[in-house]
Structure 1
Amino acid sequence: MEETIQPIDPIAFSLGPIQVHWYGVIIGAGIALALWLAMREADRRGLDKDLFADLMLWAIPIAILSARIYYVIFQWEYYSQNPSEILSIWNGGIAIHGALIGSVATAYVFAKKKNISFWKLADIAAPSIILGQAIGRWGNFINQEAHGGEVTRAYLENLHLPEFIINQMYINGAYYHPTFLYESIWNILGFVLLILLRRVNLGRGEIFLSYIIWYSVGRYFVEGLRTDSLMLTESLRMAQTISIALIVLAIVLWIYRRVKGYANIRYLETSE
């Protein structure tokens, strides 16, 4: 007999005809906390703390737009038949790699306009970014998306997960890997690592490059468990391909910047 488990209502609350989804609330909370942490650290590093608030006015909408465009492109077979759903971002369907492309490009242009080192901004922002990602994955949890393959309830219980997570992983008559949780935990560990690396006083740009490597390693393995991957080919997962490319690129940039002396300025120095 099939179990009857009521999933969490994806609607957080309603304001008249407007429904506010938990997905948006969680993403918004992650962005707010990330911004607050970045502003505090910017102040410590000798920058105007409002600099990140100004940056986010551009980076957030561009990141969301680029994340959605990225997702829609690789799901075009579906969206070409359902064009009215292209803008339904509250139902999920944004790709973090798309968001990173948009936000990094925005930050680079912003830094040039403000005559500030992009790498300094990136180093300050790196822990905030990965913490925001850790929080944002819980939006996938509410929407019962971005999960892995089928597992048994006993498997989930052996992970010592709380009942509300186990129940939410019961989707259409089966239990699934909580890959949202695996990635969220990996990102929280990454946040702690990046905070500790600040004390190591790495060369400029190396905290951000550490973030790229750490996140990409975790994403590669978690992506291998997921059932909803965006595919580059029938057998090649886009996120895994991008993750490998980013790891290689980050290592090459790390070595190149060291050789060229671009990383001689240390993180704890206030020089621009």
Structure 2
Amino acid sequence: MTGVVSRTAFEIFGIDIYWYAIIIISGLVIAMWLSSREAVRAGLRDEDVTDFMLAGIPIAFVGARLYYVLFNIGPYLNDPIQIFNLRSGGLAIYGGLIAGGLWLLFFCQRNFIPTWTFLDIAAPSVLLAQAIGRWGNFMNQEAYGPVTTRSFLEGLHLPDFIIDNVYIEGAYRQPTFLYESMWGVLGFILLVLLRKKKGLFKEGEVALSYVIWYSFGRFFIEGLRTDSLYLFGSIRVSQLLSLVLFLGSCFLLVWRRRKKKQLKDYDRTEGKNQYII
């Protein structure tokens, strides 16, 4: 074993800049850029995405942190100031999605933007941002699974820098961060390719497909993790939420198809702006 990867990317004026922050921000920037391009194709303006993200990013960060702290409250009761110590990690994706989703509903209502259309535009890019963000967990040696062997990891054809960095607390660990990242990248590719097929998705179904895809994978991957947040001491919070989101999204997708016969197709107009304030 050659040693773990350094968490620190570089130093500015004596302050360590961590890879965790760089990776998370990079994922968000890429998501914003891709969503802006798709917004124009879907008849909105690229500024709509920028305006949403300016407030949406800090709101999502606050939501992600609150979710993590609330379901891991013990250590923070003893040292409350650590609630604000984001440099050590401790962000929960589902918390960010919930907070960001609430802001999206408000933003769309205030700006007279079709909510389902905006969700469809953002969903694949958000999934990619999540996949990228998991590498921040890798740098922090978070989001890992049970004890395994080096030979098992080598059998996955992983490079040495990954294998060495999942040597945590005296043992090699399942790289659950990598499983979720790969699941996210695969889902992103599928959604982007299928979204191009005219008439395949009705309005809102790209977003629902994203929730179904992500929650399905997260349910099983979360079951492997040894650093999960728990409810009542035995129920994995993210696993329970994944199950609820998966079943709820499947139901909503079928219900909308049956009850709302006039659902519009998800329309990519290739630059023809149909949005008027």
SS at match of 1:145: coil
| Alignment match, 1:42 | 39
1:178 aligned to which of 154, 175, 179: 175
The answer as to 2:252 corresponding to 1:266 is no
**1:246 counterpart residue number:** 245
**1:203–1:263 CA contact under 8 A, matched in 2:** no
Q: Distance in 2 between matches of 1:262 and 1:62?
A: 36
Spell out the pairing of 1:1-272 with structure 2 (5 A cutoff): 5-200=2-197, 201=199, 202-261=201-260, 264-268=263-267
Check whether the contact 2:43–2:268 (CA below 8 A) recurs between aligned residues. Answer: no
Letter in 2 for 1:77: G
Q: Give CA deviations for 1:6-48 in whole Å, capped at 9, x if unaligned.
A: 2111111111032211000000000000000000011111111
Q: In 1, distance between residues paired with 2:158 and 2:16?
A: 30
Count the aligned residue pairs: 269
TM-score normalised over the length of structure 1: 0.95
Secondary structure of 1:23's counterpart equals helix
Secondary structure in structure 2 of the residue aligned to 1:79? helix
C-alpha separation between the residues in 1 aligned to 2:169 and 2:65? 26
CA shift for structure 1 position 269: 5.5
The CA deviation at 1:255 is 2.2
Three-state SS of the structure 1 residue aligned to 2:238 is: helix
Greater relative CO (CA pairs within 8 A, separation 6+): 2
| Secondary structure at 1:227 match in 2 | coil
Q: Which runs of 5+ in 1 are unaligned?
A: none
Any idea what the Cα deviations from partners look like across 1:206-241, whole Å, max 9, x if unmatched? 000000000000000100100000001222111110
Task: Tell me which amino acid in the other structure corresponds to 2:48.
Answer: L
The answer (yes or no) to whether the contact 1:21–1:90 under 8 Å persists in 2 is yes
1:172 shift after superposition: 2.5
* Displacement after TM superposition at 1:262 (Å): 7.1
Would you identify which runs of 4 or more consecutive aligned residues in structure 1 move more than 6 Å? Answer: none
- Give unmatched runs, 5+ long, in structure 2: none
Determine the C-alpha separation between the residues in 1 that align with 2:243 and 2:187. Answer: 18
SS in 2 for 1:80: helix
Q: Whole-Å Cα distance in 2 between the matches of residues 101 and 126 of structure 1? A: 13
d(CA) in 2 for partners of 1:233 and 1:217?
23
Distance 1:249 1:102 in 2: 18
State the Cα distance separating 1:259 from its structure 2 match: 2.8
Name the CA shift for 1:83/1:213 in 2 (closer, same or farther; >3 Å): same
8 Å CA contact 2:208, 2:253 repeated in 1: yes
Please report how far the alpha carbon of residue 243 of structure 1 lies from its aligned counterpart in structure 2 after TM superposition. Answer: 0.3
Are residues 89 and 254 of structure 1, via their aligned partners in 2, closer, same or farther at CA, if it must alter by over 3 Å? same
- The 3-state SS of whatever aligns with 2:17 is strand
Counterpart AA for 1:59? G
Q: State TM-score, norm by structure 2.
A: 0.94
Aligned-residue CA RMSD (Å): 1.4
For 1:70, the aligned partner's letter is: Y
Q: Which amino acid aligns with 1:194?
A: L
Q: Percent identity?
A: 48
| Separation in 1, partners of 2:91, 2:193 | 30
Pair 1:269–1:9, CA change in 2 (3 A) = closer
Q: How far is 1:82 from its partner?
A: 2.0
